[in-house]
Amino acid sequence: MTERPRLVVVDGGARGGWHLLPGVQAHLEVHAFEPDPVACAALVSTRDDMTLRAWPWALDAADGRRTLHLARHPSMSSLLAPDLEAYARHFGRMLDYPAWARAIETVATCEVETIALDTWARQAGVRRVHLLKLDTQGTELDILRGAHGLLGSGDVAVVYCEVSFLPVYRGQALFPEVHRFMRDTGFSLVDCHFHPHRRMGHHLGARYAEPPRWTAVGDAVFAWRPECWDASDRVDLAAAGARVLAHLGQPRTAATWLARHAGLSRRDVDFALAAWTASARRHAALPRRALRWLRRRSA
């Protein structure tokens, strides 16, 4: 039996390991970038059911060296210094603000090597990336600029990127700038998942409780235009991209890709989506008979 092709994933800001796409872990080839030496070393042992390679660099707009600001809470470390004045201005009324302000404080700095994603892909021989995930505390737009070649040529199918609507770090690009860059590069915004578990403002008691709503941070999903892929590659790329989108909670866009760009019938689309979303424990693939038929038809 022919081995199923792996989904190639680039994880920018990989501290803590890889946790997305739980239903297809065994079929992933993850390239995890983490400039903190301790956190990078820990990545190697986080998973044993998928291919993961840790790269000890910070993704950036260009190759070089930059200062990494290590925060008291490691997950808030960044190549950008925290903007404590803006942080207090926007979040100072939160009940737990003192703890958050302490968490983002810089406790140490170190020099780290940076690399542009275009440079790395060329050196590593990686031609296609099915999912680019970025969570780097404010430098996401810099990383996207360093991947302009990959993005502009359609060699990245889906981008899952943390975005901010209020500044937390000095020089941080906010959502409108990220959205504009992605749109100009040929991507469409599919959705933005906000983080509703944090509520801003004073606690008013149960009688005046407000429902969870969006806050200042979210995860945006951007998708390439499948019609721009070469006809010879479109079926396989659309199927792989749809698989990623389905596991990111975007079955409607995934169905569109399968029907319009991979040529599947409604029955096969329903079958694929049901298989992909049924359970995180199921490592289902696109129906082989459908792909065989599609490849014959497009030959």
- CATH superfamily label, 7-224: Vaccinia Virus protein VP39 (3.40.50.150)
Q: What is the mean pLDDT of each run of 10 residues along the chain (299 residues)?
A: 71 90 85 92 68 94 97 96 92 84 95 98 96 97 98 97 93 96 97 66 50 70 94 92 93 94 92 73 47 47
Q: Are 262 and 242 in contact (CB under 8 A)?
A: yes
Cα angle, residue 175 at apex, residues 171 and 176 outer, rounded to 5° = 100
In this prediction, residue 79 carries a pLDDT of: 98
Residue 48 to residue 58: CA distance in whole angstroms = 24
Q: Give pLDDT, residue 209.
A: 54
Determine the pLDDT at residue 93: 81
Domain with CATH 3.40.50.150 in the chain: 7-224
CA distance 180 to 186: 10
pLDDT of res. 240: 94
Look at residue 217 in the predicted model and tell me its pLDDT. 87
For residue 136, give every residue at least 6 positions away whose Cβ sits within 8 Å of its Cβ, in sequence order, or none: 12, 13, 58, 59, 78, 79, 143, 162
Q: What are phi and psi of 201, to 5 degrees?
A: 105, 180
What does the pLDDT read at residue 208? Answer: 52
Distance CA 21, CA 29 (A): 12
What does the alpha-carbon distance between residue 158 and residue 168 come to, in Å, rounded to a whole number? 26
Model confidence, pTM: 0.87
Helix/strand/coil percent split, the chain, to 5: 40, 25, 35
When computed from its CA atoms, the radius of gyration of the chain, rounded to whole angstroms, is 20
CA within 13 Å, CB half, 183? 7
